[in-house]
Amino acid sequence: MADFRTSTLHTTPVGDRGDRVVFLHGLFGRGKNFARIAKDLLPDHRSLLVDLPNHGRSAWTDSVDYRQMADSVAETLRGDFAAEGPVAVVGHSLGGKVAMVLALRHPDLVSRLVVVDIAPTRTGGGEGEFAHLLDSLAAVDLTAAERRSDVGKALEEPIPQDTTRSFLLQNLRSGEDGLSWEPNLELLRSSLDAVGGFPDTGDAVYEGPVLWVAGGRSDYVRDEHAPLMRRLFPRAHRVTIREAGHWVHSQEPEKFTEVLRGFLAHTET
């Protein structure tokens, strides 16, 4: 297991010029979940797609802690992508919480912040769904599967939604020893209470511009969250993409990219 303080996160760069944007994915995700959005931002923006700890090709750790994850992202950015100055940070769901904590703990790294369909509070109602998905993935006998389609077939009954199943199947890795899951399923399953929470950040306030994007068909962002959001992020502006659910960027990519591009291009006065 890696130490949060010394682990280097796996990253994927997209583009080689333009303003810099960092993308942080949600639970079950990986940096490349934002590949389409990053490509759509070319050539005006170059992006860094980050695999958070216990996801994608980044190292597994012994615990799930938002402050430690944010510090790990900060260490990675300081070493390269943000070495020349602050960058825009976009985070969805779990990645949105990491992005908020990053901005509160390391404001010098964040020029502007985009929080996608999550709030700085305990996430209610999602633990049961996430537990079911994690249990479904862990229950698949990968030693009996020869190809990705075999795993997909095994997941059809417990996860009948095609889009959800296809998204989860992106986490399969094929190696010399056969198929394996990239996320640390056991740790994530036992840490759902921590995943659903939000850490105490003391009196920290992030004064930079913040775009708060909600999915119109999702209940992760509610009106009662607004006072806390604006206490921590006084310059937050909320936008709702009506036809999107929780996975806003994958369900409505064109609308999301349009909103994101406008925010990134806006010059604050």
**136 labelled catalytic:** no
* pLDDT at res. 124: 65
- How many residues would you count in the chain? 269
Q: 11-123+197-265, which class in CATH?
A: alpha beta
> What is the tens place of the pLDDT at every residue in 119-178?
999 986 556 788 999 999 999 999 999 899 999 999 999 999 888 898 899 899 988 888
Find the mean pLDDT for residues 29-35. 94
Q: Distance between CA atoms of 15 and 220, rounded to whole angstroms?
A: 32
User: What one-character-per-residue DSSP string does 113-128 give?
Assistant: EEEES--SSPPPS-HH
| β-bridge pairing 210-215 and 178-181 | unpaired
DSSP β-bridge partners for residue 2: none
**pLDDT at res. 127:** 66
Query: What is the arithmetic mean of pLDDT over 74-81?
Result: 96
Q: Has residue 234 got a pLDDT over 80?
A: yes
What is the pLDDT at residue 130?
86
Write down the domain spans for the chain. Answer: 11-123+197-265, 127-190
Dmax over CA atoms of the chain, in Å, equals 60
Say whether 186 is catalytic: yes
Through-space distance between the first and last CA atoms of the chain, rounded to whole angstroms = 46
What's the whole-model pTM score?
A: 0.93
Annotated active-site residue in 129, 132, 166, 186: 186
Annotated catalytic residue within 47, 58, 93, 111: 93
Please state which of the ranges 66-75, 174-183, 209-218 shows the lowest mean pLDDT.
Answer: 174-183
Which band of pLDDT confidence, cut at 50, 70 and 90, is reported for residue 186? very high
Q: Which of 58, 246, 250, 252 is catalytic?
A: 246
